[in-house]
C-alpha cells in the first residue's frame, strides 16, 4: 500500500507574550541589586578583558527584570566567556564545548518558569557548536544567547576563530588564515532567528538596552557582542571604540527610522541597490535614492539580512542594535501545549491506573 504523506495539523498561534511572562516575579516593593547577582567567586579573566564589562552590565541589568533570582539560569559552553556563570549568583551550568544551546533547550522546554540565558563565544557557538546554535534559533526556544565575539580563540591561547578575518596570522595560521569567516548576524537571520541584535562590550548603555529587548523577547534572542581580547586579539574593535571613529562607523539601527549615521561633516545614509542589497552613500548623493527605513518587525528578513551585509572586514560601517524582532510561536511553548492538552484530555496527572492501561495495550488475554 502506498502511504500518503502526513498532512500537517494546525497548532494554533499564541498571542504575543513576553519572554519572562511565566517566570515568578519578586513581591511588590522588593528589588534586587547588582550585588545580589554577584557571586563570591574571584573573577579570573585577564586584566582588561571585555568580559568584565559585559558581566558588570548583566549583573547591573538583571535586577531590572524584577524576577526571582532562583528562577534565572545561566548556561555556558567552553571558552573564556563561558566562565560567566561562575560569577553570576544565580543557578548556573558551565557545560561542554558548543553544547550549551542544546542543554538550555532541554531546560527551557521542561521549565517555563525559568529565565534561561546562554553565554557563549565565537568559537564555542559558531564552530564546534554551530549545529546546536542554528537549531535553537530555528526552533525559537525561549532563551537569550549572548555571543561574545572577540574573533579569536582565547582559552586555547590564540588560534584563529570562525569569525577571524581572512589572512589573520595566528599560532595556527602562521601564513595567514584562508578560512572565510561567518557573519554571526547573517547566520542567525538565515537560521530563522526571531531576535537578532549586535552591540559592543564597551558601550554599557547600548548593551543594556539590547539586553532589555532580548530578555523581553519571547523566543531565541541572539545578541552578538563585539568583545575585546587584550591578550590574543587586542584592538580588534578599536576603530569602533574611539569616540571620533565610532561616530563615523557605527550605524545605530532605530526601528521605524531611516538608517543614517556618520560625523556631522560626513553624514551618510543607507540606500537600496539595484541588486536588492543596501549600500551606504553620503547624504548629499542620496537624492532620488530609496533610503532604507529600519523595520525590525518585518516578517520578511530580507532587509535585515541586507543590513547585516553592510559591514565588511574594514568595519567602515557597522550596524548595531536590533536587526530583527518578530513574533513566532516558541518551540517550548508548543511542546508544552501539546503535552498539557493531552494530559487535560486524559483527565489530569497520570495515575497508576493510567500506566496500567498503557502497559496493557489493546490485545490482552487472561490465564486463570
Partner 1 sequence: MRLESPTPDAPEADAPPEAPARTGDGKPVERVHQVVIRFAGDSGDGMQLTGDRFTAETATLGNALATLPNFPAEIRAPQGTLPGVSSFQLHFADHVVLTPGDAPDVLVAMNPAALRANIADLPRGGVIIADADEFTRRSLQKVGYTASPLEDGSLESYQVHSLPLTSMTVEALKDSGLSRKDAERAKNMFALGMLSWLYDRPTQATEKFIQTKFAKKPAVRDANLTAFRAGWAFGETTEGFAVRYEVAPAEHPAGTYRNITGSTALAYGLAAGAHKAGLPLVLGSYPITPASDILHALSAMKHLGVTTLQAEDEIAGVGIALGASFGGSLGVTTTSGPGLALKAETIGLAVMLELPLVVVDVQRGGPSTGLPTKTEQADLLQAMYGRNGESPLPVVAASSPTDCFTAAVEAVRIAVTYRTPVILLSDGYLANGSEPWALPSVADLPGIDPAFATGPNGAGDDGTPAFRPYLRDPETLARPWAVPGTPGLEHRIGGLEKADVTGEISYEPENHERMTGLRQAKVDGVAVPPLEVDDPVAPDGSRARVLVLGWGSTFGPIAAAVRDARAEGLQVARTHLRHLNPFPPGLGDLLRSYDRVVLPEMNGGQLALLLRGRYLVDVQSHARVRGRPFTAGELLDVVRDAVRDLTEPATQVAAPATDTGFESPQEARR
Determine contact, residues 85/236, Cβ cutoff 8 Å. no
Among 19, 50, 79, 92, binds partner 1 (CB under 8 A): 92
Give the whole-angstrom CA distance, residue 89 versus residue 230.
26
Cβ pair 83, 94 in contact under 8 A: yes
CA distance to 312, 326, 367, per residue, from 193 (Å): 22, 9, 58
User: Under a CB-based contact definition with an 8 Å cutoff, are residues 152 and 177 in contact?
Assistant: no
- Span 299-328, contacts to partner 1 by CB under 8 A: none
**Cβ pair 229, 50 in contact under 8 A:** yes
Smallest distance from partner 1 to CB 45, Å: 14
Q: Which residues contact 315 (CB under 8 A, 6 or more apart)?
A: 237, 239, 240, 249
DSSP 13: -
- Residue 278 makes CB contacts below 8 A (sequence gap 6+) with 259, 270, 271, 272, 292, 303, 306, 307, 309, 310
Query: By CB under 8 A, is residue 339 in contact with partner 1?
Result: yes
Tell me the Ramachandran region of residue 220: left when phi exceeds 0, alpha when psi lies from -120 to 50, beta otherwise.
beta
Treating both helix axes as pointing N-terminal to C-terminal, what angle do 100-110 and 130-139 enclose, rounded to 10 degrees? 30
User: One symbol per residue from 12 to 41: x for binding partner 1 (CB under 8 A), - otherwise; what is it?
Assistant: ------------x--------------x-x
Region 191-220 residues binding partner 1, contact defined as CB under 8 A: none
In the complex, least distance from residue 346 CB atom to partner 1, rounded to whole angstroms? 4
Among positions 49, 54, 57, 73, the unique one binding partner 1 when judged by CB under 8 A: 73
Binding of partner 1 at residue 71 (CB under 8 A)? Answer: yes
**C-alpha cell, 165:** 578575518
Q: Which of 131, 172, 302, 314 binds partner 1 (CB under 8 A)?
A: 131
Judged by CB under 8 A, the stretch of 57-65, 234-242, 274-282, 345-353 that binds partner 1 is 345-353
Q: Kindly indicate which of the ranges 104-112, 211-219, 282-290, 312-320 contains the residues binding partner 1, using the contact rule CB under 8 A.
A: 104-112
Residue among 14, 48, 106, 176 that touches partner 1 (CB under 8 A):
106
Stretch that binds partner 1, among 10-18, 131-139, 255-263, 283-291 (CB under 8 A): 131-139
Place of cell 527605513: 293
C-alpha grid cell for residue 240?
569602533
Q: Is 121 in the site for partner 1 (CB under 8 A)?
A: no
Determine, following the binding rule CB under 8 A, whether residue 144 of this chain makes contact with partner 1.
no
* CB of 128 or CB of 315, closer to partner 1: 128
CA distance 223 to 207: 9
- Minimum CB separation of residue 73 from partner 1 in Å reads 5
Does residue 174 touch partner 1 according to CB under 8 A? no
Closest CA to 227 of 95, 87, 120, 116: 120
Tell me how far, at minimum, the Cβ of 80 lies from partner 1, in Å: 14
Q: Which is nearer to partner 1, 204 or 336 (CB)?
A: 336
Residue 34 CB, shortest distance to partner 1, in Å, is 15
For partner 1, which residue of 18, 258, 302, 338 counts as binding (CB under 8 A)? 338
* Residues at the site binding partner 1, with contacts judged by CB under 8 A: 1, 3, 24, 39, 41, 68-73, 75, 78, 85-86, 88-96, 99, 102-111, 113-114, 131-132, 135, 335-336, 338-339, 342-343, 345-346, 349-350, 352-356, 358-361, 363-368
Amino acid at each position: 500500500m502506498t502511504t500518503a504523506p502526513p498532512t500537517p495539523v494546525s497548532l494554533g498561534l499564541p498571542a504575543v507574550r513576553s519572554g519572562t511572562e511565566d517566570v515568578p516575579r519578586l513581591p511588590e516593593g522588593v528589588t534586587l541589586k547588582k550585588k545580589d547577582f554577584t557571586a563570591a567567586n574571584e573573577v579570573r579573566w585577564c586584566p582588561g578583558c571585555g568580559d568584565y564589562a559585559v558581566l558588570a552590565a548583566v549583573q547591573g541589568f538583571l535586577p531590572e527584570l524584577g524576577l526571582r533570582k532562583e528562577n534565572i539560569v545561566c548556561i555556558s559552553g567552553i571558552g573564556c566567556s563561558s566562565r560567566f556563570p561562575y560569577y553570576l549568583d544565580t543557578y548556573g551550568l558551565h557545560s561542554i564545548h558548543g553544547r550549551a544551546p542544546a542543554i538550555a533547550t532541554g531546560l527551557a522546554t521542561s521549565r517555563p518558569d525559568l529565565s534561561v540565558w546562554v553565554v557563549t563565544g565565537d568559537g564555542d557557538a559558531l564552530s564546534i557548536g554551530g549545529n546546536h546554535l542554528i537549531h535553537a534559533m530555528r526552533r525559537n526556544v525561549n532563551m537569550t544567547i549572548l555571543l561574545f565575539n572577540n574573533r579569536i580563540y582565547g582559552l586555547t591561547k590564540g588560534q584563529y576563530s570562525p569569525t577571524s578575518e581572512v589572512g589573520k596570522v595566528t599560532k595556527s595560521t602562521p601564513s595567514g588564515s584562508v578560512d572565510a569567516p561567518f557573519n554571526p548576524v547573517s547566520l542567525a537571520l538565515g537560521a530563522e532567528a526571531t531576535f537578532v541584535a549586535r552591540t559592543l562590550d564597551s558601550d554599557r548603555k547600548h548593551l543594556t538596552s539590547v539586553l532589555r529587548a532580548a530578555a523581553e523577547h519571547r523566543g531565541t534572542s541572539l545578541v552578538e557582542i563585539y568583545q575585546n581580547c587584550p591578550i590574543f586579539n587586542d584592538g580588534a574593535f578599536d576603530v569602533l571604540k574611539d569616540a571620533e571613529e565610532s561616530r563615523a562607523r557605527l550605524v545605530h539601527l532605530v526601528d521605524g527610522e531611516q538608517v543614517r549615521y556618520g560625523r556631522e561633516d560626513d553624514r551618510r545614509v543607507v540606500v537600496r541597490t539595484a541588486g536588492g542589497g543596501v549600500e551606504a552613500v553620503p547624504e548629499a548623493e542620496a537624492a532620488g535614492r530609496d533610503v532604507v527605513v529600519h523595520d525590525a518587525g518585518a516578517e520578511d528578513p530580507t532587509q535585515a539580512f541586507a543590513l547585516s551585509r553592510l559591514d565588511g572586514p574594514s568595519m567602515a560601517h557597522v550596524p548595531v542594535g536590533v536587526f530583527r524582532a518578530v513574533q513566532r510561536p516558541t518551540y517550548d511553548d508548543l511542546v508544552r501545549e501539546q503535552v498539557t492538552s493531552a494530559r487535560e484530555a486524559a483527565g489530569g496527572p497520570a495515575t497508576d491506573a493510567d500506566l496500567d492501561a498503557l502497559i496493557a495495550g489493546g490485545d490482552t488475554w487472561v490465564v486463570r
